[in-house]
Amino acid sequence: MIAAVLLAAGESRRMGEFKQLLRLGNKTFVEHCVDNLLASSVDEVIVVTGHRESEVQRAIGNRPVKIVHNPDYQSGMTSSIKCGVRQVSDSARACVISLVDQPRIDTPIIDCLIQVYESGAYENGRSLIVIPAYEEKSGHPILLDLALREEILAMDPEIGLRQVVLAHSGAITRVSVSSPAVLEDCDLPEDYERLLKQ
């Protein structure tokens, strides 16, 4: 079983507008992200909410996801990752950590990470971490084997996921993808304008 945690709790301060509800085509960012995860081969989708929780829930509607509120969302992304990972089913073997400001991460990218993980194609045994890369630059989403669950839950908030990634640099598989979407960050108004033009 593979789980996915979508981080949708932040305040979008740098954007000046609430990212989760920005529109791309006929859907909001959070709807695109949820729909792409649901269409993939993940078995469970957990959405971590925080700021303007009820509006995010309304946008998601009756889609079959588990919504978890992070009361500590203002302390940063690490708290939301921990909040989501705590809710992942015990039977899950790995978890995809997705960001709500990447609405163009489509289902084939997610499935590619899962396929590489499940193939066990790694010289030292199974990969503990699978990261997409575009033109040799690492991006998101990131897949983590849940053998790392306790380490994820113990992460230093100042370091975040980098702490886990650096600790297991010998068990990472980087997967080349053809889409620059894995590198996109939609943090500023000009990022959103660029996304709309694409």
> pLDDT (tens digit, 9 = 90+) per residue, 96-138?
999 998 998 999 999 999 999 988 755 456 689 999 999 989 9
* Dihedral over alpha carbons 156, 162, 165, 168 (to 10 degrees): -60
Q: Which residues, in sequence order, are CB contacts of 167 under 8 Å at separation 6+?
A: 151
Closest CA to 141 of 4, 2, 1: 4
**Residue 176 to residue 168: CA distance in whole angstroms:** 19
SS3 132: strand
The pLDDT tens digits for 63-107 are: 999 999 999 998 889 999 999 999 999 999 999 999 998 998 999
According to the model, what pLDDT value does residue 150 have?
95
Domains of the chain: 2-193 (3.90.550.10)
Helices (H), 40-178: 53-60, 77-87, 107-119, 149-153, 161-167
